[in-house]
């Protein structure tokens, strides 16, 4: 892998403190509690990217029933490690994961990475009319 980075699906490899530190500052999960991150990791198929020396520098997870549907979430690579194709490698590894073959639909939401996902075969939802949501954008806001 480029620059000796290592990918892992092993839950024991996930560095929850590092993942939480990034997500708590992200635009999509600002102020998320560490306990919520732990539950999200436990309920998802996760992949991490690790720099030489073992530090976790990227993460992505899929919420899935492993039969029909997958939702890609929390994809990131730390700024200092961007430009090596690591996010694309993580997403491709998830696409190729044996438990995620034959799914009818994958979904994601992004504000700034449309080009990355388009290059990996993702397309905008053309007819959003069938899709609905319950959305609580302030759920992580601290009182």
Average pLDDT, the chain: 95
DSSP per-residue string spanning 98-116? GGGTT-SEEE---SS-HHH
- In this structure, whether the domain defined by 2-119 belongs to CATH 3.40.630.30 is answered with yes
pLDDT in tens, 97-140: 999 999 999 999 999 999 999 999 999 999 999 999 999 988 99
pTM for the full predicted model: 0.93
- Domain spans in the chain, listed from the N-terminal domain onward: 2-119
């Amino acid at each position: 892998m480029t620059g000796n980075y290592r990918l892992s699906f092993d839950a024991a490899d996930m560095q929850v403190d590092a993942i939480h530190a990034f997500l708590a500052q992200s635009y999509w999960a600002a102020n998320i509690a560490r306990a919520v991150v732990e539950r999200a990791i436990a309920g998802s198929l996760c992949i991490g990217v690790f720099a030489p020396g073992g530090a976790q520098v990227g993460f992505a997870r899929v919420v899935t029933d492993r039969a029909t549907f997958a939702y890609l979430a929390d994809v990131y690579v730390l700024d200092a490690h961007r430009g090596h194709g690591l996010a694309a490698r993580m997403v491709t590894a998830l696409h190729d994961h044996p438990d995620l073959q034959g799914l009818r639909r994958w979904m994601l939401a992004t504000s700034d990475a449309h080009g990355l996902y388009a290059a990996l075969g993702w397309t905008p939802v053309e007819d959003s009319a069938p899709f609905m949501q319950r959305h609580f954008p302030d759920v992580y806001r601290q009182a």
